[in-house]
Chains A and B, each alone.
Chain A
Amino acid sequence: MASRPLQPLITAIGRVLLGKEEPVKLALACLLARGHLLIEDLPGMGKTTLAEALARGFGLSFKRVSFTSDLLPADLTGINVFDAANTRFHFQPGPLFSQVLLADEINRASPRTQSALLEAMAAGRVSVDGVSHPLPQPFLVIATQNGIDQVGTAPLPESQLDRFLMRLSLGFPNREAERALLSGAALPPASLEPISNPAGLLELQGQAAAQHCSTALLDYVLDLAAFSRRGDQPGPGLSPRACQGLVAAARAWSLLEGRDHVTPTDVQAVLPAVANHRLQRDAAALLAGVDGLR
């Protein structure tokens, strides 16, 4: 039986973020699939803890930006600053130049700033005053938004949502976990020892992308997409980019499961996280509508 390469990390994060193994694993899969993560949840559910734990686990640099309505794109990307000693400008990188960026309350920023962030996420580089600066690798954006408190926000349009590989919701911990939390059993994220390094993460990402997808599995994904696009289903259905993301996430998930090939079970495990924010409805109907016996 193949080993599960990241099980120690999942266990370690579990000691920091109690009772949240499933979202942790999904977040990790998102990281391995080179995607970006949107967490939609109430404040105080452990979003920051999760982001910080992920970053520390791989020894990645971590920054956090609280998005407000007056945040400007330059506040994220950085600006050219005049160096009086050398009498010339030099680039002062903004918080975007970190390996894990926590973009808190992304829906509070202006659409212009949101757009700048999403462009950077998609392109992997930032242009300031005509000079292109590559972002560090690996690069993971964890954006959060508060789904309830909507006054004075600019909700992300669907086209922007599509850029996030997954949307997760941490949710309340169960009673056991919460009791343990209150009794002080949870460790601070700072206590997490790195189990790998950025190079190791890049290698894992490469490995995930190389997981075997058989024709039968791709047919399953295509059937899911076709079902979501059917006339009797609400919404426009899964985009080709969504399908790509679904396969990439399923690949990463199968790696976490310790296998070298992807199965429909992997697709089913990641489908709600990948599809829910794109379909604006529950992906469970999608899973029930397509024959998994193949």
Chain B
Amino acid sequence: MSPSARWLQILGLAVLGAGLPGLDFGAPLGWLSAGLLLLAALKLAEARSLQERRLVSLLTLIGCGVQGAQQPELLPSVLQLLGTGLALAGLLALEVGAGLSWRALLRRSLTVLVAALPMALLLFLLVPRLDPLWTAPNLQGSGAAVTGLSADLDPGSIASLANDEAPAARVSFSGNTPPDPQGRYWRVIVHERFDGRRWSRLDEPATAAVPQATPPGSAEGAATPSQVWLAEPSPVQALPWAGTGQGSPSQLRVSPGGELRRQLPGRERLAYLLRDVDRPQPWQQRPPTLVDLTLPVGSNPQLEALGERWRALPQPEQRLAAAEAWFTSQNFRYSRTPGVLPARQGLDVFLFERREGFCGHYASAFTALMRAAGVPARVVSGYLGGRWVQPLGGTPYLDLRQSDAHAWSEVWLPNRGWQRVDPSAWVGASASNPAGAARSAAGPVNLQGWRRGIQWLQWQWWGLDLAWNRWWLGFDQASQEALLERLFGDQRQGLGLVLLGGAGSLLALGIGWLQWLQAPARGDRLDRDLRAVIRRLQQAGIEPAPGETFEQLCLRAGERLPASREALQELGRCHRLLRFARLEPTARARHWAAWRTALRSLQRSPKSTL
């Protein structure tokens, strides 16, 4: 039974529709994509003539292209490829009429796609990348309740930490080796404002600083180590990063405080590539402001008194050391279920009565102490550690879950800039540092049976996803600039001509290849196999007699080689049927299978018996 063109087109539209939820409707392209789909669906509903139904396929193809420009990730790409294939198959079924089998339709559609591949590659390599021209103004608070880090940190109000295993982000490294556990701090949000209980973000004019357009033409493009990130949707605009690096795509910005931000609020997953840089980032050297010293007077009197004592020490480093000594001497315990702190003087209660809490408590209390001691400090929340996952044959990566969320402090040291201090590490490293080597060795903890299997599958898929993203993100604006520089030097005005000429000739090449494929009189596969059999027989000393037919040769050879007689007879029979008989497709497939089986058996038989 051959599939009808109409159903193929409906399927193609359905696949295209499946890609819609991931689109960003803040940008005009999203609406264009949805509009195209609607148009195609309406056209399909009312189409009567061949021309109209051709138009449906054309609209589907354009829709796939527009979606592809917006969603280059792996899953959408697979969907777009499927949609393109279905649209082409629908077109083919329209033109050829019924009678083509599924397999033939699929094969022909794929052939057309393959023929277009060289041109696509040329365009991918040479068409200049453009900054997004259509970034819409920031739509603040897109409201989706996605789990993750929150903009406000109030550890005192949290009785116990939920063990939320939802994925947060994944990152792969160009060297395929993970950073050492000490280096696995991934900063996301910087909390600078403190009201005595709650830490909140200082919403500085978003994204004043740009991670800079990369120096074009530098050879470092491919050589510098890089990281590819895949961040899950989050209500905050900030993205996890290691704190250094220059980014791609170019809509990434770094805030003065050191947050990596996307320009558009993120309801969809974002992939980005960061190239490592050696020089310190501007945010690390940015002097503290008054906000970084602000501590509401009287909110936690005991804490303030303790901090005041350290003010006597002349150097900030000494005050820091005093704080560390004090924390380690005071019998603090790490606990994920410390209970709620009172609303007033919560940090006093934590520091001097309960002495148990999680990272948020320690970061919060330590930062407040430092401010009381006159050292500019702030709280940073982000992720710590992660599991190092090695997918089958894929790129290894670090899997960050929401349960890897962590909070630590940064203090300003003159001459050294902002320095990371993790007070949780002072109070029992194994508990406060749940990631790192110990965790990754344990593997998928407390997961049973099928859930473990599902997690395994998820890891494999993410591995593929990352490898894909590494591939297309790896060739970013900078790499392209380098390539263009190498190809054209300063003669950039020839690029347009080269593009046009190259695309045209590659298209002609593809079409020529398609034509060549359809030319019937050529050494076909059966013929190639037949020559292989003859070569094999010649190795055994059996030469074809002049004018002999293949079946006669096989029979004659079978007499000489009793061990292979059956295979040879089968070869002769199958060749005769495949070449000269009129066969139904199923019978043809059966004889092909028998032909290949006999061929393998002949080729596997040792030369001595041959």
Contact = CB atoms under 8 A, between A and B. Distances in A.
A62 to B, nearest CB: 36
Contact of B581 (A212, A268, A288, A294): A212
B579 interface: yes
Contact of B547 (A259, A261, A288): A288
Contact of A214 (B527, B530, B549, B581): B581
26 contacts: A212-B580, A214-B579, A214-B580, A214-B581, A217-B580, A260-B581, A261-B580, A261-B582, A262-B580, A263-B549, A263-B576, A263-B580, A264-B549, A264-B580, A265-B549, A265-B551, A265-B552, A268-B547, A288-B546, A289-B547, A292-B547, A292-B548, A293-B530, A293-B534, A293-B544, A294-B530
Interface string A250-271: 0000000001111111001000
B579 A294 contact: yes
A293 B548 contact: yes
Contacts of B520: 215
Interface residues of B, number: 19
Contacts of A260: 581-582
Contact of B551 (A214, A262, A263): A263
A261 B577 CA distance: 8
B553 interface: yes
A261 B583 CA distance: 10
Contacts of A181: none
A258 B308 CA distance: 110
Top 6 A-B pairs, shortest CB-CB distance: A288-B546, A292-B549, A261-B581, A287-B547, A212-B582, A264-B549
Interface of B: 520, 527, 530, 534, 544, 546-553, 576-577, 579-582
A293 B553 contact: yes
A291 interface: yes
Contacts of B580: 212, 214, 216-217, 261-264
A interface bracket (residues with beta carbon within 8 Å of B): 20 to 34
A293 B581 CA distance: 16
A260 B582 CA distance: 8
A290 interface: yes
A230 B277 CA distance: 77
Nearest to A213: B580
Contacts of B548: 292-293
A293 B550 contact: yes
- Most chain A CB neighbours (cut-off 10 Å) among B534, B546, B577: B546
B547 A290 contact: yes
Nearest to A220: B549
A110 B15 CA distance: 84
A211 to B, nearest CB: 10
A285 B591 CA distance: 34
Interface in A225-274: 259-265, 268
A294 B544 CA distance: 12
Contacts of A287: 546-547
Contact of B550 (A212, A214, A290, A294): A294
Contacts of A263: 549, 551, 576, 580
B548 to A, nearest CB: 5
A217 B575 CA distance: 13
Interface in A173-218: 212, 214-217
Contacts of A262: 580
A264 B580 CA distance: 9
Contact of A293 (B549, B576, B577, B582): B549
Contacts of B527: 294
A290 B544 CA distance: 12
A30 B178 CA distance: 83
Contacts of B530: 293-294
A232 B580 CA distance: 31
Contacts of B576: 263
- Most chain B CB neighbours (cut-off 10 Å) among A216, A265, A293: A293
